[in-house]
Amino acid sequence: MAEKYIYIVNPKAGKLSIAKKKKIIASITPGSNPTIIFSKSLKDASLRTHEFFSQDYFVVACGGDGFVNTIAQKAIECGGRMGVLPFGRGNDFARSLNLDKLEQAILAIKNGKFEKARYLRVETKEGKRIALTNAGAGLLSEAAYRASRIPILKGSLLYVVAALLSFINLKCHNYTFTYSKKEISMDALIIAVAVSQYTGGGMFIAPEAHKFRDKLNLLYASKLSRLKAVSLLIKVFSGTHILHESVTNKHVERISIKTNSSNKWSSIVSGDGEYLGSLPAKISLGKDPLYVAR
């Protein structure tokens, strides 16, 4: 384990109480009186993380995907090393690294061995962000937005409920996207660009995301009726949706996406359960290393 380490915690993440979170962290190195910082906001977490990485701390992000994303952004910028304690409702990044169970994540922190994790670089009108799992538009983004406003549920059930709410006024939007020197314009239900197999608390959105380490997994579905869209959503749990006739599943180096629709939902880009910006967007693999305890 690194000589200096610190735990930065999202106190509102998941269902664990602050006392329980403290107890779990204390159990990692009994008697060590670990330094625990409870962040006041994502901005506060970002500032604190930058400070500790600049002092060569090993920073453990204790929260869900959006919170871990904030810590990871600073790890990349500062060349720092980080760990993950999956305290959130989704934990898809941790799941992609087989760290979604607390005992696995704790063992990784104790071992102090690191590996480079893949991530997405997302450029929108608002600036440059990263996504640790996937980024996309259409139903994916609308469901993520709705899920962030449902306080009780967690995991894939949360995302399914959010997706079903989105189906009430289901609309497919017209997009133009460019990849591998091809430009395609179409009405699409969903566009997802993935480096992780999972989204929405364990939904198997991109079963082949790890097939090529140097490429993104691009998935998009053409316009469907509401009934067929619900049927397709059910298939996501087993990963068999990629065999559906409406779904295109490819591996590409980069992609550009823009919307041709005026509907407010069409321009939203989400990733790791968070709002990343508005279309147009350019998405590629991150180049700078992200070192995560594994």
Three-class SS string for 57-74? CEEEEEECHHHHHHHHHH
Q: At residue 81, does pLDDT exceed 50?
A: yes
Indicate whether 276 pLDDT > 80: yes
Q: 42-54 and 65-78 helices cross at what angle (nearest 10)?
A: 30
> Taking all residues of the chain, what is their mean pLDDT, rounded to a whole number?
89
pLDDT tier, 200 (very low <50, low <70, confident <90, very high otherwise): confident
The more confident residue out of 276 and 145 is: 276
Single pTM value for the model:
0.89
CA distance 104 to 123: 33
In the 8-state DSSP scheme, what is residue 117?
Answer: P
Pairing relationship of beta strands 281-285 and 254-259 according to DSSP bridges: antiparallel
What number is the average pLDDT over the span 213-222? 96
Residue 283 has pLDDT above 60, yes or no: yes
